[in-house]
Structure 1
Amino acid sequence: MLVLGIQGSPRKKGNTAHLLSIFMKAAAEMGAETITINPYDYKISPCLEYTACEKTGTCPIKDDVETLIYPLMRRATIIVTGSPAFFYSAPSQLKALIDRTQPLWSRKYRLNLDDPIRPFRKGFFLGLGATKGKRLFEGFDLMMRYFYDAAGASYEGMLGYREIEKPGDMAKHPTAENDVRTEAERLIRQYMTRLRLVFLCRDNSFLGPAAAAFTMKEAGCVYDAESFGINPSEKVHSGLVPLMAEKGIDLGFVNPAGIEKFHGDINSAMKIFIGSNESEADGFKYDVFWKTPDYKDQDVNLDAILDLISEKVSGLNK
């Protein structure tokens, strides 16, 4: 499982970074994959309210949000955001990222597509500010509630710290480390008992992503399913996303990953290889082989292949 941290402060080694690092360190110690991003490191244009995303589910603005950040948000099981208070709200670059999640909201609420990880994704907020005002985090609470809904996560709450102004103030806080670690462990523990299931295929552009999506949709409470390729393609097959959308499953922003991206010990996971021939495994060890027609054959029925994979996934729990 991936824990994605969003560090919203322009100060890359300041109090916000320290606060978020406590959460991410706890997650890593529990065995989760962790990635921390800072919006200031990316090209993020502000939302221009084109409203095209409500019809297409994609943003016409082409920048790092669509190519780099959406894919990470879609992979993540937990998204934790850290931010300082700028005029009782988020810094501009973080707010720009939040505004740009409207396409993800549209895919669910306008196009009726189900992100297969959505039922399990959790969101949490870590905030701090220099003032001791009682209403310091009221705006954040509302903003995060709706940001996480757009991102496909349930909002699990927040920790807010006042009178944090000087460098090092957060590290000196008497309860912050214990507070944050407790929340991290609470959120992550429930997922660490799931069985890791890895779908392997040659290029991970069609078979693997479909199998992982079907598994998460049908049995995500039992399995933590991912897919990897031995020689991954740069993009998913052009027919995958629209065909899965016809089945109500959203695979938008999925990128094929190579087996080298697997986090942890691959031998601890159940490995299912999917392909038209076992020779495609190229000597890679696996536990089960699922034979499917060659999806690259021009005469093959791609929808029938997806139905076959869905049937095999249904059999996992029998």
Structure 2
Amino acid sequence: MELRHLRYFRAIGREEHFGRAAIALRIAQPALTRQIRDLEAELDVELFERLPRGVRLSNAGGAFLEDVEEILRQVDRAVDRARRMGSGHLGTIRVGLSEIMATYDFISRGLFDFRANEPSVELDLRSTGSLAQIAALKDGALDVGIVYDAHLEERDREALSSTAIGAGETMLAVHESHRFAQRESVTLAEIADEPVLGPARTLAAGYYDRVVGALIRNGNAPRFVQECTTNSILFSLVSVGMGVGIVTTAGPHTPGHNIRLVPIADLGLTFEVMLVWRTRDRSAALQRFLDKMLEHASLSSRREDKDD
């Protein structure tokens, strides 16, 4: 028994007439009659009562038609689902996000736009650190991550693909009452005697080494008094006057009502924001997601160029 037999039977059962069913199916009536006889022989039951004009479903045929209708509905749903999955309009994308990325407006806009345009694709957003994202991508627990380039190592590039979607500037976070709060910029020499809060190397060695390396190369390594595992902790400590903080962010956006971000004039340290995914992942839904995020990154870049 093949699906075409069920479709042929359904058409005749609905029409109760071989001729009209043959026209609807666009096949010759003798061929249709032969197919139904083969189906009845396979089932060993008569599905129709033959009348002088047309046919009528037998009791067995009526029961069979109810089941066939449901079977073909399920088949149609399965075909539609497979097509939508194949075209990227259905599925789930697991996205890793660190709190650092909350400062980038185009990321949240891209996520919102994708959800609005692909309602059948679920975005499973997972809050996790950059190094944990990379490990999860390799293990197949995440589909895409958003991290700074400093967290990617050469050995990662065999399994992972990446593309830059933005950049963050390393700046100084100060309390609004601090003497630097109203400055256009500061120099490393000016913050040499300040108690400085910085990143924790244990959780982000690549990022930490690049920051500290840039500070040392410029000849004025700051006096670190505490390492912070997250930006939230760093900003919280700055907000209560524990020191000034070295932080990479999207720009001079105020992270809190009593914190100011001040550029460090002689540092010039930036990090690229990267979309990262498994190279072998050919998911159409993932590709649509990547395209949408790149689209918003490009729009953001054009807006910044226009503002400049």
| Bucket of the pairwise TM-score, normalised by the shorter protein | under 0.3
> Greater helix share, 1 or 2?
2
Task: Point out the structure with max Rg over C-alpha.
Answer: 2
TM-score (norm 2): 0.22
> Greater strand share, 1 or 2?
2
Greater RCO, CA 8 A, separation 6+: 2
